Chain A
Amino acid sequence: MIRLLPVLDRKLLRDLWRLRGQVLAIAFVIAAGSALLVMSTSTYAALDATKRAYYERTRFADVFAPVTRAPVGLIERLRRIDGVTAAEGRISAFGRVDLPGAPPISARLVSYDASAAAPLNGVTLSAGRMIAPGRSSEILLLDAFARATGLGPGDDITVTADGQRETFRIVGTAYSPEFIFAMAPGEFVSNDARFAVIWASREALEAAFDLDGAFNDALLTLSRDADLLAVIETADRLLAPYGGAGAYAREDQTSDRYLTEDLEQLRVMDRIMTPLFLGVSAFLLNVVIGRLVQTEREEIGLLKAFGRSGGEVGWHYLKFALAVAVLGGVLGWLGGLYLGARVSALYSSVYHFPFLLYDPPVRALGTSILAGVASAGIAAVLAVRAAAALPPAIAMRPPVPPDYGGRGSLPRWLDQPSRMVARRILRAPLKAALTIVGIGAAMSLTVMMGFNAAAVDEMVVRSFDIADRHDVGVTFTDPRGRAALFALGRIDGVQRVEGRRDVPVRFVNGTSERLGSITGLSGEAELSRALGADLRPLDMPAGGLVLSQSLARLLGAEAGDEITVDVRTGSRPSIALPVAATADALIGTPAYMDEGVLGRLLGEEGRVSGAVLMVDSARADAVTERLREAPIVLGVSLQSESLAELDRMLDEGPGLFRRIMMVVSIVIAVGVVYNSARIAFIERARDLASLRVLGFTSAEAGYVLLGELALLTVIALPVGGMMGVFLWIVVAQAVSTDLYSIPTVFDPRGFGVAALTVLISSVAAGLLVMCDVRRLDLVSALKVRE
């Protein structure tokens, strides 16, 4: 069959086979970049589509409107607001679950009308059955919590709410779009075992919270073209007389916010990392294929001498590049497919999506091939044009040896081969520079990923060892007086107590709005503080706000600006506050104020909403037991658990991504180094053969070639390091999310790993090339075609 192909195509196949090592290396470099592209786009697309479908199928509300107490008749009026398609009133409150042997667990209680035809924020059962209408002791439990604590249908659970203790029977476990990320109030890490969500019948909660015939949380779904701001304004106006705390849109709902942030990070990885990787591989391929085609000078001349037109020749070599590119693209697509499916499945299980809409990204196949083709093709075309422009006779002759004469002479103490190496570099600095930049660029990706990993560790250290150093955090059901702090201090085993005042607010800066909270800190806070840019604890300014950098960025505010703060509890004042400074808070988006000033602004001085404790680890269990007995304690968080959770969370989704990108960057680095070595050999085959003929041993001939490579590689190491630093500065900000910011720190080990990778692959490539040098067919290498 081969015989049926035209001659040029047969040559193409033979060339591909001959250069199979390099073809594979280039293909892998292309594959690496496109696998990343396919993986991230398909993962993002799958998760985004799944999220949307999930929200739609469960009728996830668009607007949430908490109130203190409103009559159910008001729901009808809410439904009549222009743009609202459905409205529901429910009872939502916080309580406490006590399990034997565990610290107090915060719980969110939500009323659910199981008999309604299409309830908003619908739950999906994962085990057991729905609560039967009329049975007020039956509840559904959040699936994540149930699995983390081993509870299930048939078990009883005791809940303390509003000062009363009730026992419920769990009849089923469920998921809900509202609690994909479920966090206890005051926490920033979701710990499945420390926060429970309970769906109970309306009757049970009405009785428990004294809300007969009333609701304290309204849900609205809007039509597609509804004016969100207008609906929120109208709802606020209707609910204000009933203690409306301010309606907010779905994007401000805790779970959706974190989910969107997480997915956004995937998109950022996709938008920034992938073009980065693709760009680097494209650049490198340009260089590699360009040089490869140039080594075919003689063949090109021969073909032209045989009568092929410049166009035909050009097309032939283009086909070579295309073949490699298509190979790389297909490999990348397959790899990306596999990785995408795995990463999507992982994320899907982390988010507890009940289903996953993963479409094999066929379109991405085209994109990935296109990417490879683009990078390879352009280089090939340019190189071929240059070579094909030469008249055949000149082309077939060996290239004119570069002129090594000229200015200066090299130090006498260098031996001949070393001087050859030095000469070549000094006389063709552009080429040397290109090689250095090429290797440096490949290395920089690995360096950046190394910095990324180290920066994530640093973020955890800063948050848990410098900023928040307490052992236990306690949240109260309501703000309390300072006597509560003294009472906590008296518990045997508690060494130190510091109070906190967390106030839920809405930050408004012009058109930017954000729901969040302000933490009141005292000047003597030692266990939990706000850090400045130099990691020094910040003194709370008198009368001003200290925003974390991430929050300041989100609001578009700077030190010196004035922003409005709408307080969402108590008398709900709206206060204008100046931004006094920004804090280096890496986890969450906190804002801080002096607690005395905060208390005065709220009209409630000296009150605390919680406390942080330093606890003797030998008495930790006893302390936890005493906290369980205290009715005003809503929830308890253990720093050690939060740290473990954060580590686990960072390791799962984003960690997997980072590991994949690290592998990709290594593949690219290895591929580039290998290619550079082999192409250098091909280019210099004639020179090396000449050397051999002149009497140099293969070792010495090899030294001339490899010496140059080694020198260039060593010079490339610091260049790669610097490029990696630059890349990291650009990327660090982009990969920060609402949940955590990654500091721009540089760990030399990141550079070390990348340098090792480059060195090891250089040595391996060098050894392979050395074999080629030994096997050099002197006769054919020196032949000149006539």
Chain B
Amino acid sequence: MAARPRRSRRGVLALVLASLVGATLVWAFWPRPMAVDLEDVTVGPMSVTIREEGRTVVRDNYVVSAPVTARVSRIELDPGDPVKGGETVLAYMMPADPAVLDPRTRRQAEAAVEAAEAALAAAEAEHGRALAERTYAQSELARMTSLRRVEAAAQRDLEAARRSAEGAFEAVAAAQATIHAAEADLRHARALLEPPERMMAQMTGNPHPPGALPIRAPVTGRLLQVMHESEGVVAAGTALAEIGDPEGDLEVEVELLSSDAVAAEPGDPVRIEAWGGPEPLAGEVERIEPWGFTKYSALGVEEQRVIAVIRFTGKDAARARLGHGYRIEAVIEIWADPQALRVPSSALFRAGGDWAVFRAQGGRARLTQVSVAQDNGVVAKVRQGLAEGDSVVTHPSAELRDGARITQRKTG
């Protein structure tokens, strides 16, 4: 009868309904692939660098200092002004002022003046006496000479008269000399009392004080620093100004960790960044000093540092604005490979002590061991385990397992 087909039709309906429900459940519970970020393994340039803070220095700078203790005039030039070697006058030197006297020394000096005046007076009196003696001796000689001619006096008396006359001449000369000496002593004593203002007045505000010695710039360049700007008396050796050539003579000094200093070599290319300009500057390592010294690192621990000197290699004009002692960041390239097989460092993780990545293959993540030659934090050079064009999972989640279904996350 019709019962059989009806039941089977009922069965078919039930089946349809059940399969609809089943399909929905399957869709609901179907394991969804984990969303991950994928990046390709590429071939391209890669470098390992050392990045360190450094500063610019003028290679040869000249410190102009006072050769003697003297009064130096005000340095009117400002840092940055150009100077010409042998021509530009930096300042004028004048003898230093005499000392100011305290009351006791003043009284002593005044007494010395009085003594000198007295000595002068005595010398003049002595001179007068010597003149009188000479006059007498001269006339005595004339008398003796005429007496001898008539043999009225002995030869001996004539010679004695001659001796007195010559002695008297010399005595006058001596007295004159004593007067000169006494005058000089008086001047000497008076000089101690001379007020210094008169000397200073000759120099102050005078751009060309008479008798002043100019201090000229030793080389052509720019005034980098003025250490002693104002007019005043400076001791011998006091640094007055520093001159250098920041445009043509600038280089970079970087304090490298000693282990980094071993890795870097003269000739390594350097990129100078964070100097304030729009483009990084080019340079190369010129030399690495063999002297290590102790310094506290930025983290506060003791370290041994070595100075590395870096030379600019680009066009001078690009870094015209740099001066001496400006902060820069130097990126020294210690290793480079123009055709390295690169995998993003964020894809690497340790699996059983060795490096591994998750490679995307057929929609699943495959744990793949790799060996890495160099890693600079952004990419790593693969020695073996991956090929160009492979897709790897970056920043793999801790829940990702070998063989799990994955899909590219549709975000940045």
Contacts and interface: CB of A to CB of B under 8 A. Distances in A.
Interface stretch (B6-14, B224-232, B239-247, B308-316): B6-14
B300 interface: yes
B99 interface: no
Contacts of A535: 409, 411-412
B10 A748 contact: no
Nearest to A477: B300
A507 B154 CA distance: 130
B350 A749 contact: no
B375 interface: yes
A756 B25 contact: yes
Query: Among A495, A617, A711, A756, which residue has the most Cβ atoms of chain B within 10 A?
Result: A495
A418 B299 contact: no
Contact of A413 (B9, B378, B395): B9
Nearest to B344: A526
A484 B298 contact: yes
A153 interface: no
Given A496-B378, A616-B350, A710-B17, A633 B345 contact: no
A129 interface: no
Given A486-B52, A755-B25, A465 B297 contact: no
Interface stretch (A118-126, A169-177, A624-632, A681-689): A624-632
B9 A418 contact: yes
A748 B21 CA distance: 14
Contact of A481 (B260, B298, B411): B298
Contact of B53 (A483, A748, A752): A483
A332 B9 CA distance: 46
Interface string A690-726: 0000000000000100000011001001000000000
A495 B411 contact: no
Given A413-B9, A465-B395, A488 B377 contact: no
Contacts of B6: 415-416
Interface in A746-771: 748-749, 751-753, 755-756, 759
Nearest to B13: A418
Given A414-B9, A417-B10, A752-B29, A631 B53 contact: no
Interface string B12-27: 0100010011001101
B298 A711 contact: no
Contacts of B27: 748
A293 B266 CA distance: 99
Contacts of A465: 395, 397
A614 B6 CA distance: 69
Contacts of A633: 299
Name B's interface SS: mixed
Given A469-B395, A482-B53, A616-B350, A495 B298 contact: no
Nearest to A617: B350
A309 interface: no
A535 B411 CA distance: 6
A703 B10 contact: yes
Interface in B373-409: 375, 377-378, 395, 397-398, 409
B301 interface: yes
A484 B53 CA distance: 10
B53 to A, nearest CB: 5
A616 B268 CA distance: 28
A418 B51 contact: no
A461 B9 CA distance: 49
B353 A618 contact: yes
B412 A536 contact: yes
Interface string B51-95: 111000000000000000000000000000000000000000000
Given A481-B298, A526-B346, A752 B411 contact: no
B253 to A, nearest CB: 14
B377 A489 contact: yes
A195 B345 CA distance: 31
A632 B25 CA distance: 57
B1 interface: no
Interface string A600-611: 000000100000
A495 B350 contact: no
Contacts of B345: 495-496, 614
A630 B300 contact: yes
B297 to A, nearest CB: 5
Name A's interface SS: helix
A487 interface: yes
Contacts of A415: 6-7, 9-10
Nearest to A711: B17
A488 B299 contact: yes
Interface string B348-388: 01100100000000000000000000010110000000000
Contacts of A489: 51, 377
Contacts of B133: none
Contact of B25 (A469, A618, A752): A752
Interface string A465-509: 110010000000000111110111110000111000000000000
Contact of A466 (B301, B346, B411): B411
Nearest to B412: A536
Given A490-B260, A640-B398, A703-B10, A534 B411 contact: yes
A367 to B, nearest CB: 37
B329 interface: yes
B28 interface: yes
A315 to B, nearest CB: 44
A537 interface: yes
Contact of A480 (B25, B298, B398): B298
Contacts of B301: 629-631
Interface in B214-260: 257, 260
Contacts of B25: 752, 755-756, 759
Given A465-B397, A631-B300, A717 B346 contact: no
A752 B298 contact: no
B24 A614 contact: no
Contacts of B375: 495
A625 B298 CA distance: 17
B239 to A, nearest CB: 29
A748 B17 contact: no
Contacts of B398: 640, 643
A728 B375 CA distance: 46
Contacts of A755: 21, 24-25, 28
A537 B409 CA distance: 13
B10 A495 contact: no
B409 A483 contact: no
Nearest to A620: B350
Contacts of B298: 480-481, 483-484, 486-487, 632
A538 B231 CA distance: 59
B281 to A, nearest CB: 18
A752 B299 contact: no
Nearest to A524: B378
Given A415-B9, A640-B398, A632 B299 contact: yes
Contacts of B20: 714
Contact of A717 (B21, B257, B299, B350): B21
Interface in A431-459: none
B411 A536 contact: yes
B245 to A, nearest CB: 29
Given A630-B301, A633-B299, 11 more contacts: A413-B9, A415-B7, A418-B9, A465-B397, A469-B346, A486-B298, A496-B378, A537-B412, A614-B377, A616-B350, A755-B21
Q: Which 3 pairs, one residue from A and one from B, show the smallest C-beta to C-beta distance?
A: A752-B28, A415-B6, A536-B412
Interface of A: 413-418, 461, 464-466, 469, 480-484, 486-490, 495-497, 526, 534-537, 606, 614, 616-618, 629-633, 640, 643, 703, 710-711, 714, 717, 748-749, 751-753, 755-756, 759
5 contacts: A482-B53, A483-B52, A537-B412, A751-B28, A755-B28
Interface of B: 6-7, 9-10, 13, 17, 20-21, 24-25, 27-30, 32, 51-53, 257, 260, 274, 297-301, 329, 345-346, 349-350, 353, 375, 377-378, 395, 397-398, 409, 411-412
